[in-house]
Structure 1
Amino acid sequence: MAGLFQTTAAATSNTLGDLKGDVELQNGPEDTISDIAFNTNQADQKDFLAVASWDKKIRVYEILSNGQGQPKVAAESDGPILSCDFFKDGSKVLFGGADKAAKVLDLNSGQAVQVAAHDMPVRSVRYFEANGTPMAVTGSWDKTVKYWDFRSPNPAGTLTCQERVYTMDVRNQLLVIGTADRYINIVNLNDPTKFYKTIQSPLKWQTRVVSCFTDANGFAIGSIEGRCAIQYVEDKDASLNFSFKCHRDQPQGNVTNVYSVNDISFHPVHGTFSTAGSDGTFHFWDKDAKHRLKGYPNVGGSITASTFNKNGSIFAYAIGYDWSKGFQGNTSNYPNKVMLHPVQAEECKPRPSVKKR
């Protein structure tokens, strides 16, 4: 089933999207953006976007009604910031990075305080709640995942993984952890100190990203080899698992250029999802219909991070150098910016199913 989403050029004319309405976020970071996150509080009328960067700063912008972003607050760390996530109420941002720590930035006071520590860089951070208590989960290259109650300086629990943590995601009570050597650990946050299930990624190359479905019944995996896998948690749904090729050029003779899938984001309303890659493109997909909804032209540089806002009307994506072509590819004129794409309903809505009479 690996080729389900492969379509010919003639068949894709109606699935080609355009970028003409996309707006650049002004006053952006000075180095490659590693992660971006929107506030998810439905009661908040405003959209705020957190941007984590290799320039050692976390920045939060208010997205105005005209699509422009206005800087609201920023904080500096002692090393590149690799991951960020909003608190559920939208008042604070959790972030972590190469300084081996995770911190919380208060949007009202502008103050950042340390809430977590590891022995190696913190690669991924996520906010969640345990019985109503605000918590953080942090994954590190020290091969551990730790849980933190913000009222205590010590971890509330620790999981030891097989290898370095490369990516994590949380949705409801589902925590998915992707590590080096292609291990995928699944955790039920009702029983957070043990693995509910461990699998080897169905993709043959290094895991780049994991992202949970909106209904928390499964997750998507992206690899460095231009593939994406759809994986359900429970064995009873195993027949729904599949993988497909994406973010790769048309074959030229015996050579096909393949690119890393750097981020996967699920639409909060429709449950469809995006992939974004080192080839400088992003695509919207319907996993249930096994169909590509829209594909977009090259944006001029690798897309390093992406996310939807809380109602799915904005798709934000970061363009910057991801080192996929080594030192030689890091030219002084390489773009480094965040773009805001206004999402039209037909771009992300699932395709109606065709029922046989």
Structure 2
Amino acid sequence: MAPATQFEAAQPPTDAVSALVFAPGASKRLLVSSWDKNVYLYEVVDGAEEANLVGTFEHRAPVLDVCFGASPDEAYTAGMDHQVKSKHAEPVRCVVYSAEHSLLVSASWDSTLHVHNTTDPSQPPLAIPLPGKPHALAASPTKLVVAMTARLVHIYDLPTLASALSSPNPQPPQPWQQRESSLKFLTRAVACMPNDAGYATSSIEGRVAVEWFEDSAESQARKYAFKCHRQAAPEEEGGGDVVYPVNALAFHPVYGTFASGGGDGTVALWDAEAKRRMRQYQKFPEAVAALGFSGDGRYLAIGVCPGFETGMEDYSGEGRTKIFIRELGETEAKGKGAK
């Protein structure tokens, strides 16, 4: 593999990036959802340092999340129009697809999860009430993690959800586990480990927590949280730390290390097992809003746009929103214990 390189995608969104995701497998397709009411499809050209716009898909309202389905030709979006494939009563914040179980799960600010059977679009979704508004959603091969208001975290077993949906009289199952977040402030992102062992969450208060699914005392003793995405304030302003939200998390599909992106405009790579920061990249011109690794782990996509750290008056992402693609060096994301 060639040394690391970095380039920009052509024709970026005209407003803030809400999410981005690479297609499964070896495909180099990249989907980006935006507050400008569009979803953008890019194709990364191997060896050419290019990410070309293939097409845009206009929506009736801002798009808050996007995911691929069973193939690079299938995608699902969620947004302010209240819809995925069935109508929620409020905006739909998150959407994830489970390839292992052919399930699409959407989470809405109406405090429900909808579980859809993608092999039978005519089947009504299974609605699961939530005790709070969801802020982040992620799936591992067997688990679904829902992070909500009031530090609530529910973990669902995906085979159980699939079984409930296929029953003659579907009933919403109980969570596999109910937890309180290790982070004291609002959750911004959640990402699951590719080896199905656990997950990471991040908050608006410059912290990341790493936890494992196994509910044994030994496993729970391994969980930890740490400070990140903070900058020293000038002495004339009283010193101390300026704390930024950690807006994005993404696990490397091969090595299991993970990237974090913050309102400070930086991206860092972390070794979850060794509990250490591996590297931090040069600061980007705006806040980092979204991150995603390609299916083969070769590329890292980084969505940057103005954040709200300095206020919301006269906000505009036009001309300042950019999609960066980093082609990783051969061992760039390899953790200390990786083979």
Does the pair score TM above 0.5?
A: yes
Q: Residues 26 and 69 of structure 1 are in contact (CA less than 8 Å); yes or no, is this contact kept in structure 2?
A: yes
CA offset at residue 179 of structure 1?
Answer: 0.9
Equivalent pair of 1:63/1:69 in contact (CA under 8 Å): yes
Using a 3 Å threshold, how does the CA distance of structure 1 residues 152 and 342 change in structure 2: closer, same or farther?
closer
TM superposition shift of 1:59: 1.3
Aligned position for 1:210? 190
The CA distance in 2 between the partners of 1:227 and 1:329, in whole Å, is 29
- Is 1:34 equivalent to 2:18 in the alignment? yes
In terms of mean alpha carbon deviation, does 55-64 or 153-162 score higher? Answer: 153-162
Partner of 2:327: 342
Q: Where does 1:288-307 land on structure 2 (aligned, <5 Å)?
A: 288-307=273-292
* Compared CA separation, residues 74 and 228, structure 1 to 2 (3 A): same
- Once the two structures are TM-superposed, the CA of residue 90 in structure 1 deviates from its matched residue by 1.7
SS in 1 for 2:11: coil
1:181 partner SS = helix
| Structure 2 counterpart SS, 1:101 | coil
Match in the other structure for 1:4 = none
Cross-structure match for 1:109: none
The answer to whether the aligner puts 1:280 opposite 2:260 as a matched pair is no
2:147 to 178, 182, 185: 178
How far did 1:217 drift? 1.3
Other structure's SS at 1:257 match:
strand
The residue that corresponds to 1:52 in the other structure is: 33
Distance 1:317 1:288 in 2: 24
Q: Does 1:227 align with 2:207?
A: yes
Letter in 1 for 2:242: N
- 1:170-192: per-residue Cα shift (whole Å, max 9, x none)? 11111000111121110101112
- In structure 1, what is the equivalent of residue 117 of structure 2? 149
Instruction: Tell me the residue number matched to 2:9.
Output: 25
Deviation at 1:297, TM superposition (A): 1.9
Letter in 2 for 1:294: R
> Partners in 1 of 2:53 and 2:318 — Cα distance?
24
Once the two structures are superposed, residues 161-217 of structure 1 have per-residue CA deviations (whole angstroms, 9 ceiling, x without a partner) of 111111100111110001111211101011123201111111111011111011111
- Report the Cα offset of residue 135 of structure 1: 2.4
In structure 2, C-alpha distance between the alignment counterparts of 1:291 and 1:334, rounded to whole Å: 35
Which residue in the other structure is 1:117 paired with? 87
1:258 aligns with 2:268: no
Whether contact under 8 Å (2:14, 2:318) holds in the other structure is no
Q: Return 5+ residue gaps in structure 2 as ranges.
A: 162-172
SS in 2 for 1:316: strand
State the 1:116 CA deviation.
2.4
Which of 235, 249, 254 does residue 231 from structure 2 map onto? Answer: 249
1:190 to 143, 149, 159: 159
* TM-score for the superposition, normalised by structure 1: 0.85
Query: Which SS does the other structure have where 1:117 is aligned?
Result: coil
**Paired residue type of 1:347:** E
Distance 1:158 1:176 in 2: 16
How far apart in 1 are the matches of 2:254 and 2:19?
Answer: 22
What residue is the counterpart of 1:110 in the other structure? Answer: none
Aligned equivalents of 2:108, 2:37: Cα separation in 1: 17
* Aligned residue number for residue 238 of structure 1: 220
- After superposition, the C-alpha distances for 1:259-293 in whole angstroms (9 at most, x for unaligned) are 00001000001000000000000000001111111
Tell me how far apart the structure 1 counterparts of residues 268 and 92 of structure 2 sit (CA, whole Å): 29
Q: Say if 1:291 and 1:155 are closer, same or farther in 2 by CA, change over 3 A.
A: same
**2:305 paired residue number:** 320
Which residue identity does 2:10 align to in structure 1?
Q
The answer on whether the counterparts of 2:204 and 2:245 sit within 8 Å (CA) in structure 1 is yes
Given that 1:320 and 1:334 are in contact with CA atoms closer than 8 Å, whether structure 2 keeps it comes out as no
CA contact (8 A) 1:321 1:334 kept: no
Choose the corresponding residue for 1:91, options 62, 73, 91.
Answer: 73
**Which of 333, 336, 339 matches 1:351?**
336
**Cα distance between partner residues in 2 of 1:225 and 1:329:** 25
- CA deviation after TM superposition for structure 1 residue 327, in Å: 1.5
- Helix, strand or coil: the match of 1:249? strand
